[in-house]
Amino acid sequence: MKASNGAGSRRLLSLLGTAVAASVAATVGLTSPATASPVVTVSSGADLTGWQTVLGGSTFAATGQAAVTGADVAVENRSDYSSLRSNVARRGVMADALSYKRVSGDKMMNTIHRAVYSFQLPSVPSMAGGALNAQTVEGGLFVWDGAVTRLDNGIAFQWVLNPWLPNFGQLRVWSDANGGAWIPAGYLKPDTAWHSVRFAVDPLHQASELTIDGTSLAAPYTKSPKASWGTDVSARLQVEAISLWPGSAATSAPTHEVLVKDWSWTQEVQQTEAEKAAELAAAEKAAADQAAAEKAAADQAAAEKAAADQAAAEQAAAEQAAAEKVAAEEKAAAEQAAAEQAAADQAAAAEQAAAEQAAAEQAAAEQAAAADKAAADKAAADKAAAEKATKAQQKAAKAVEKAAKAAEKAKKAQEKADKAAEKAKKAQDRADKAAEKLKKAKERAAAVAARIAAWAAARAAAKHNK
């Protein structure tokens, strides 16, 4: 049997059922420190788009088979989930499909990392064989400290799915004791249901938590050396599908497929003790600087106030002297103004008396002129009224004369009308008599006509009887 070196070899021995000595350290509950930054979502997704998929370290090739390569693993992202497959060509090999998401940064070792995703088997592994079968499904959350300790910090789980193994369905967790090994942590019956795994890793306090379907697993916080890894500081969330061990002489083996969906990853940066001390020292220095600045400002303010008070006192004395001088000058000016005002008032009174005398004389003259004008106006009015009365009287006489003539004409017209009415009455009488005569003549003519008709009829009848 040809196995991979290093961690891959240790993992392969565990998969094949080799007994290992292990002890589990108790996990520590993760709580957010008071100085932690707000939780930031690194990323999330329905499928594994944006993840890297590579060949993992747990590989094996049966006798006569080519070495396992990246061509033996694949991932297909299907929007709402991803299909992670190992031994896609069904060769006589065991392949390890490892898909991971990595985030780098100098704060990764001071950060609480929390992550979750769901996984599902499309079919239940069985000794009856078939196109699909499995060795394990694995997952983990790690932080690599390549800058200082060169240790890989974190937790991982393994679900044993080889149906030929006596621990089929066992859940294991990774332990760094005795060089590193998988140790039993529980049981999950192999099925095709969706299962959820949650990880939490706090490198600063070396604490971790791991739950599957809400059940907590006693997963120790591990620190594993990686001699060939780089000097970066990075965190990674990962899932693995390791295909069924084929046996040493196998020419073919089934494909292993696991479905993954709904992953998310959050980070909460914390302060280290050194950062806290530096922040405290900076705060104390700032406070001392502030106190010194405030004292200097207070001293400067006191000096400025004393100078201002002295200047204010001198200014007040100068202003008082100036005010007294101005008051004396204003008093003299007021007395002079009062004298001038008295003289002006006396002159104004004399002028007022003269003006009132002139006004009285003017009023008397205007009154006399008004009386003369009123008399003249009355005489003119009386004359005009007399003339109007004379003309009115003349017009009235002419009107009476015209009315008499009109009455005479009306009388004659009435007499003519009366005569005409008399003539008309007589004409009507004559017409009535003529009508009466005409009516009688018609009656006589009708009687004569009736007699003639009767006579004719009688004569005709007589002729007929002969």
Residue 197 lies in a domain: yes
Say how far residue 244 (Cα) sits from the centre of its chain: 55
Give the C-alpha separation, 107 to 109, whole Å: 6
Domain count, the chain: 1
**Per-residue confidence band for 9, with pLDDT thresholds at 50, 70 and 90:** very low
Write down the residue that tokens 């290992």 correspond to. Answer: 20
Tens of pLDDT, residue by residue over 138-196, are 999 999 999 999 999 999 999 999 999 999 999 999 999 988 999 999 999 999 999 99
Residue 327 lies in a domain: no
**Per-residue confidence band for 31, with pLDDT thresholds at 50, 70 and 90:** low
Q: Is 58 helix (H, G, I), strand (E, B) or coil?
A: coil
- Reported residue count of the chain is 466
Residue 201 lies in a domain: yes
**Per-residue confidence band for 14, with pLDDT thresholds at 50, 70 and 90:** very low
Give the C-alpha separation, 95 to 59, whole Å: 5
Contact 112, 268 (CB under 8 A): yes
At residue 370, the pLDDT reads 77
Give the structural domain span for 251. Answer: 7-271
Give the C-alpha separation, 139 to 96, whole Å: 12
Tens of pLDDT, residue by residue over 340-374, are 887 778 877 768 867 788 776 787 678 867 767 87
At residue 308, the pLDDT reads 81
Residue 88 lies in a domain: yes
Tell me which H or E stretch contains 269: strand 256-269
Tens of pLDDT, residue by residue over 225-284, are 998 999 999 999 999 999 999 999 999 999 999 999 999 999 999 977 777 677 677 777
Q: Give start and end residues of each alpha helix (H) in 92-199.
A: none
Check residues 37 and 192 and name the one with the higher pLDDT.
Answer: 192
At residue 13, the pLDDT reads 35
- Phi/psi for 114 (5° steps) reads -130, 135
At residue 156, the pLDDT reads 98
Residue 64 lies in a domain: yes
Residue 420 lies in a domain: no
21 pLDDT higher than 60: no
At residue 191, the pLDDT reads 98
CATH number, domain containing residue 111: 2.60.120
**pTM beyond 0.85, yes or no:** no
385 pLDDT higher than 90: no
Residue 388 lies in a domain: no
Check residues 402 and 263 and name the one with the higher pLDDT.
Answer: 263
Residue 437 lies in a domain: no
At residue 230, the pLDDT reads 96
Question: Stretch 397-419: mean pLDDT, rounded?
Answer: 77
Contacts of 84 (CB under 8 A, 6+ apart): 48, 53, 74, 75, 97, 99, 239, 241, 257, 258, 259, 260
Rg (CA), the chain: 70
